Amino acid sequence: MKNKKYLYILAVGLIVLTPFSCKKGFLNQTDSSNPTAQALFNKPADGIALVNAIYDTYQNADLLKKSLWYYANFQTHDFFNWGNDRFYNTYAIPSTFGGIQVFWQRAYIGIARANSAIEILKTMKVKGVLNEALANRLTGEVYFLRGMTYYYLASSFGGVPLELSNGANDGLKPRNSQTEVFTQVEADLKLAAELLPWKEEYGASDLGRATKGAALGYLGASQMWLKKYAEALVNFNQLNGKYSLMPRFIDIHEYNKENNAESIFEVQFIIAGTQSWGGGNEVAWIGSFGMPEEVSNFGYDYGNKILYDGFQAGDLRKEASIIGPGDVHPSPAIIAKGGIKSYPLVIAGFASTDAAVKAKYTGVDGKIINTCGTVARPWVGTDNAIPRSGYYSTKMWRDPTLDGNSGVSNIFGAQNQILLRYGEILLSKAECQARTGDNAGALATLKVLRDRAFGGTAPVVFMSEGKVITDPLQMVYHDYRHELTGEYSTFYNLRRAGVATSFVKEVYNITIPRGRELYPIPQYEIGLNPNLVPNDGY
């Protein structure tokens, strides 16, 4: 009995006194949900994935559409917003506007991804995980993407803070000047141009990656911002023979002609998962929100009749850019689908027992409508308080699988977005030629584009807005608009040329308030980084 008692005491005592299971690792847990640097970067795929994630920052509608596309087209007054973002119509963009906040955020997230990738790729190359060719290409892609991102930041906001290194970063740097940023862009893109292969050197499975051509294109553009027109010209000229104009203008933005011979850099989308709300970010609503409400139940963007009317007679770019009452949709893919009359809302509307609805969907021939409204009954939407103009972008309205918020509700589409194409390079080149005194060269370059625009041979007289234009630089400005409207360039190019305000005044008789050529620095970011100085005029 006594022994047993001591046995108990011993047993319990041992348990208490022995620091049980105090294994060293008890507090050192591994994060099994989120890969850390220790678990990664030991195979080439990781390096590729790091770079892919930088491209991913562009798959964002707030960045692409609400920031870049709005800037390129709303700021010129060629297109308007019907929805909540109407303040563009009066250049009263609030510094709290979510779209530009997301743009700023995504841009810097992409830059941080690039900065971290630069270091990691270096290590992977040293360790032999990446061979030299792959390491160089990936590094080139990273510099391209960082450069391009700073390009759009500086083009939209003016000077922005330059963040160029990785590591614990408090995000409190002040803004650099616009010139400093473009100088950095130039340096990044020069490096990228050295490291990157030409488009044709990539395999088919890498279609869409940054190329030497893309780097040279943006390099030239950044040099134009720095007024280095001669150097820009040299870089643009390197693209000769590497890219060509699509023979027919309408084909540039055709859904089934993505990544075509004219495209230099385009943001890629594919169908992955649902094409409705809650879908992945591989699709975007960029297409369907600009389709008329009568077709999509949306109709958030609509065009300016002055843009429509300003094309020179015979210019095939007009209907490929903007259509209005009585116009048949010119896209071969939409025609193949059955045209406007094949849209579910149109069919339902024509079948409606409500006379007013039926009228809206009845063509001039009394049959189901196949035009974008009629002259008598333009498609101005159901909001009588703020009627749309009846004119809509045809560069955005191309994906024949989209029907907006109707039918099977295919809202989100996979149409790639061309950010830079050879047609724009030629226009930029013409500007450089004119600015370096080569007016003849400029006119010759312009003629190539104009010949295509008019389906063969352009009229000798250059007309825009019903006026004859003879100055080569003025021609370039007007063609920035007629060639590139509805894309991602027009207002950027006009501001780059220093004529944005005067051009808008000339064409629309609208004065852009002082300082409002630029976006406001997002208020949210100023709140987080008090070193950010707001733009003058905001």
Can you tell me the distance from the alpha carbon of 231 to that of 421, in angstroms, rounded to the nearest whole number? 19
Q: How many CB atoms lie within 10 A of CB 244?
A: 12
Determine the interface stretch with other proteins among 171-179, 314-322, 458-466, 470-478 (rule: CB under 8 A): 171-179
Residue 281 as a binder of other proteins (CB under 8 A): the answer is yes
If binding is defined by CB under 8 A, does position 261 make contact with other proteins?
Answer: no
Residues 376-405 that bind other proteins (CB under 8 A): 382-385, 405
5 lines the binding site for other proteins (CB under 8 A): yes
Residue ranges in 84-143 that form contacts with other proteins under rule CB under 8 A: 84, 86-87, 89-90, 92, 96, 104-105, 107-109, 111-113, 115-116
Residue 182 Cβ vs other proteins, minimum distance, rounded to whole Å: 18
Decide whether 43 or 505 has the Cβ nearer to other proteins: 43
Residues 27-86 that bind other proteins (CB under 8 A): 27-29, 31-37, 40, 45-46, 48-50, 52-53, 55-56, 59, 83-84, 86
Nearest-angstrom CA–CA distance, 448 and 422: 11
Helix ranges (DSSP H) in 83-228: 98-126, 132-157, 178-195, 212-225
Q: For the CB of residue 528, give the shortest distance to other proteins in the complex, in Å.
A: 4
Query: What count of other Cβ atoms lies within 10 Å of the Cβ of residue 313?
Result: 9
Total site size for other proteins, rule CB under 8 A: 102
Considering only residues 136, 238, 370, 529, which one is a binding residue for other proteins as defined by CB under 8 A? Answer: 529
**Is 471 an interacting residue with respect to other proteins (CB under 8 A)?**
no
- Among candidates 246, 162, 166, which has minimal Cα distance to 423? 246
Q: Which stretch binds other proteins (CB under 8 A): 225-233, 267-275, 327-335, 492-500?
A: 267-275
* Cβ count near 258 (within 10 Å): 18
Q: 421 with 313: CB under 8 angstroms?
A: no
How big is the CA angle at 336 (ends 335 and 339), to the nearest 5 degrees?
Answer: 35
Rg (CA), the chain: 28
Shortest Cβ 373–other proteins spacing (Å) = 17
By CB under 8 A, residue 3 contacts other proteins: no
CA–CA distances in Å: residue 454 to residues 320, 391, 443 = 12, 22, 16
> Contacting other proteins (CB under 8 A), which of 171, 247, 314, 455?
171
Euclidean distance between CA atoms 256 and 239, whole angstroms: 24
Q: State which of positions 299-318 bind other proteins (CB under 8 A).
A: none
**Cα torsion 86, 90, 91, 97: sign:** negative
Query: Nearest approach, Cβ of 287 to other proteins (angstroms)?
Result: 16
Region 175-234 residues binding other proteins, contact defined as CB under 8 A: 203-209
Q: How far is the CB of 293 from other proteins (least distance, A)?
A: 8
- Check residue 68 and report its DSSP letter: I
